[in-house]
Structure 1
């Protein structure tokens, strides 16, 4: 080649060469569909795991939330005190535990799904927080409920017992009688996930949220950590 004639750009030096298969051909349609469906599958799997973790959360809530003292009468069960504080305490315990569950879930997603940081992790955490809250509520409120109904049906008038914890400040509405829509403090686990995950992303040193270089930070003594031009560390 003459000095005035630039050397043709080699295929291996083009940016898209890294994304092509080794054989030089374009990715097949099946490969593209698989690549696109993988993040959705990971998000769904993480959301299902968080939903399942709502079961131990519900058992913990049932263990720490106080039952409300009631008395059996001919008209049914009535509160022993006119304005009991136990239902408020049950709502408070669920709110605190649910918010803590959301914070821990966001940290776990951030650390475990390092290569899926971003919208995929945020979506998985939010959906899992909603599902886990509903599971925790339904499971926790049923602990001791059979005993309560049995005493309500068979105990003589004047018998004192306790009513299991339940939520007053949260529940599920049915939109058009088809779609369940949680409200109230059932939204707190998802809220905790969204806020914590967003803060972790905002304070990340890597704007693209890609996995950090091996070796951690700060760099070892006498060495430097270099980053790719397209992914510089945030100031």
Structure 2
């Protein structure tokens, strides 16, 4: 369990640079200070949609890489447990990336919102519109939307790797010949059709030779 918890923790920590990358590549949304707060600087801004799109793409890529890492590094634990680790790690990374990315520049945005006069234009940091966490029945937090995409990508990738594995146990297994030799080190493996053995072959006793004819002039045995 310690190995699985450490793997999920590592993937969760990697969500921090993922969130920084999201904040760096996604465009900020222009807003205007008004009496009720900040309103969009454009009638139909595309920046919030672009922020969701960038988060989705980065999350999908992270989920694929996370599944590959779990498959390779935790090869002894391949199977349902590895799948759970990959999915949990993908979701942990997405949650950290969302919180880290949306907080980059948030303090400066709040300061401008509180201090600048109405009509001033500035930018709002990235955030998710089609993903996040809702409270079910006001108590249970439930994630939704593109916040689940890294976990989804990890689950699909890990399942495909398991389906394409040539080993029934999903773990590397020794070749049949090597396993046979390990079990019977003093013997040779069975020969296949048309194969000639290179080991020693037990000699077959030769049939008895026929008696030689008597030499010319030799005395004949007495005849009774």
Give, in whole Å, the separation in 2 of the partners of 1:84 and 1:226.
66
* Total equivalences in the alignment: 180
TM-score (norm 2): 0.76
Q: Give 1:226's match in structure 2, choosing from 177, 188, 202.
A: 177
Per-residue CA distance 1:98-130 (angstroms, 9 max, x = gap): 000000000011110111111111000111111
Moved over 3 A (4+): 175-179, 224-229
Gaps of 5+ in 2: 181-224
Query: For residue 106 of structure 2, what is the aligned residue in structure 1?
Result: 145
Deviating more after overlay: 178-187 vs 80-89: 178-187
Pair 1:166 & 2:117 matched: no
Task: Give the secondary-structure state (helix, strand or coil) at the position aligned to 1:226.
Answer: helix
TM-score (norm 1): 0.72
Give, in whole Å, the separation in 2 of the partners of 1:189 and 1:173.
18
Give, in whole Å, the separation in 1 of the partners of 2:139 and 2:34.
38
Give, in whole Å, the separation in 2 of the partners of 1:202 and 1:84.
43
* Residues 30-109 of structure 1: pairs in structure 2 closer than 5 A: 40-109=1-70
Residues 141 and 165 in structure 1, CA contact (< 8 A), matched pair in contact too: yes
Task: Give the secondary-structure state (helix, strand or coil) at the position aligned to 1:181.
Answer: strand
Query: For residue 163 of structure 2, what is the aligned residue in structure 1?
Result: 202
Task: Give the secondary-structure state (helix, strand or coil) at the position aligned to 2:133.
Answer: strand
Residues 130 and 182 in structure 1, CA contact (< 8 A), matched pair in contact too: no
Per-residue CA distance 1:51-72 (angstroms, 9 max, x = gap): 1111111111011111100111
Query: For residue 116 of structure 1, what is the aligned residue in structure 2?
Result: 77
Per-residue CA distance 1:190-233 (angstroms, 9 max, x = gap): 001000001111111111111354xxxxxxxxxx763759xxxx
Once the 2 structures are TM-superposed, how far is the Cα of residue 44 of structure 1 from its aligned partner?
2.0
Query: For residue 25 of structure 1, what is the aligned residue in structure 2?
Result: none
Bigger Rg over Cα? 2
Per-residue CA distance 1:25-78 (angstroms, 9 max, x = gap): xxxxxxxxxxxxxxx332222112111111111111011111100111223211
Give, in whole Å, the separation in 1 of the partners of 2:45 and 2:113.
19
Query: For residue 150 of structure 2, what is the aligned residue in structure 1?
Result: 189
Q: CA RMSD in A?
A: 1.7
Task: Give the secondary-structure state (helix, strand or coil) at the position aligned to 1:182.
Answer: strand
Per-residue CA distance 1:131-161 (angstroms, 9 max, x = gap): 1111110110010011111001101222111
Give, in whole Å, the separation in 2 of the partners of 1:118 and 1:91.
32
Residues 70 and 78 in structure 1, CA contact (< 8 A), matched pair in contact too: yes
Give, in whole Å, the separation in 2 of the partners of 1:141 and 1:129.
18
Query: For residue 12 of structure 1, what is the aligned residue in structure 2?
Result: none
